Structure 1
Amino acid sequence: MRRNVIETVLGAVVLVMAGFFLFFAYTSSSVRAVGGYKLEARFSSTGGLSAGSDVRISGVKVGTVTSQFLDKQTFQAVVQMEIDRTIQLPRDTSAVIASESLLGGRYLQLDPGGEEEKLKEGDLIEYTQSAVNLEELLGRFMFNSGGSSSNAGSGGNAATPPAAANQGAQAPAPGGLLGGK
């Protein structure tokens, strides 16, 4: 019987300590909701940005992406966010979807402008830049650089006759040498 009481008290102490650590972690981190004013931005592609993603200025979290949806008229992605009320953004602020690292998640980077007029509740951030598609860029690099490496030692385009290459003439039309101009 005495052993059960000790185990119960020890279990209660462990639970109280776990609760204390959870409370400490929650209050010392920026996980909680910001609770500010709402803004919108329109992008041609959000590239992995999702509700709950950070909104940052100079790397500091100032808000949260609350939702995103497709505008059925323009087929653009509309991103809604909440910004801390203490941060008053100029009207010419720009929004960029950035990546934390090569394999990391996305966040919304705000770059404040210099205009005197401030954005208000429900306003639209007009200057936006969509997410960069890393796979597409890598594919372009691989396929564009692959063709030029095989002709590096030939002195010009492979379809250009050597005499024309030495005179600086342009490559023939896609029809080939005999295909005409």
Structure 2
Amino acid sequence: MSRNIIETVLGAVVLLVAAGFLFWAYGRSDAGDPGGYTLRAKFERIDGLEVGGDVRISGIKVGRVLSERLDPQSFRAEVTFSVKKGIEVPADSSAAIVSSGLLGGKYLSLVPGGDERVLKDGEEVTLTQSAVNLEDLIGRYIFSQGQGAAAQQSGQGTPPGQGGATAAPAAPGGSPR
């Protein structure tokens, strides 16, 4: 009988420790209501930006992405994000979707402007820069390098006087220099 009581008490202690760990982890994470106020921004592309992603000013996290939706009138991506209380974003600020590394995820970067008026809860950041598609950039680079090499091989891309199919002018007396 005493063995059953010990097992029950030990099981309850394990459950309490697990519940305490869950509450601690939830408090340290960004899950739930982040507080602060919400802003919106519309972008042509938001490739790689995820709900729950960071919102940063000067590299410091000041909020998170709350939702993403397609605006049915303009077909632009509308991102709703939070900003911590006490951080006032000027009305002429801009928002850009930036990569956190070569292979890392994306985050929303706010660049504060100099306007005296600040954005209020629910207002929109109108100056935006969409995400850069890395695959498109690599493709453009590869194909532009291929076209440049083909032009040089055919002699079309060679500047005058630097090779190609031009003959050297004859020196006085009829012989080439």
Verify same fold: TM over 0.5: yes
User: Are 1:33 and 1:64, in contact at CA under 8 Å, matched by a contact in 2?
Assistant: no
**What is the CA–CA distance in structure 2 between the aligned matches of 1:91 and 1:121, rounded to whole Å?**
12
**What is the CA–CA distance in structure 2 between the aligned matches of 1:136 and 1:107, rounded to whole Å?**
19
3-state secondary structure, aligned to 1:104: coil
Q: Deviations over 1:144-171 (max 9, x none)?
A: 223334666776538x96129x8xxxxx
Task: Tell me the amino acid that sits aligned with residue 59 of structure 2.
Answer: G
2:166 to 163, 166, 179: 163
**What is the CA–CA distance in structure 2 between the aligned matches of 1:2 and 1:16, rounded to whole Å?**
21
Q: For residues 15-34 of structure 1, what are the structure 2 equivalents within 5 Å?
A: 15-34=15-34
Pairwise CA distance, 1:87: 1.1
Which residue of 2 is the match for residue 140 of structure 1? Answer: 140
Structure 2 runs not aligned, ≥5 long: 169-177
Q: Deviations over 1:34-87 (max 9, x none)?
A: 222221111000112232222111222222222222222222111112222211
**What is the CA–CA distance in structure 2 between the aligned matches of 1:105 and 1:6, rounded to whole Å?**
49
3-state secondary structure, aligned to 1:6: helix
Which residue of 1 is the match for residue 127 of structure 2? Answer: 127
Structure 1 runs not aligned, ≥5 long: 167-181
TM score, norm. by length of structure 2: 0.79
Which residue of 2 is the match for residue 47 of structure 1? Answer: 47
TM score, norm. by length of structure 1: 0.77
Which residue of 2 is the match for residue 106 of structure 1? Answer: 106
Q: How many residues align?
A: 165
Which residue of 2 is the match for residue 57 of structure 1? Answer: 57
3-state secondary structure, aligned to 1:82: strand
Which residue of 1 is the match for residue 174 of structure 2? Answer: none
Pairwise CA distance, 1:97: 0.6
**What is the CA–CA distance in structure 2 between the aligned matches of 1:23 and 1:116, rounded to whole Å?**
41
Task: Tell me the amino acid that sits aligned with residue 11 of structure 2.
Answer: G
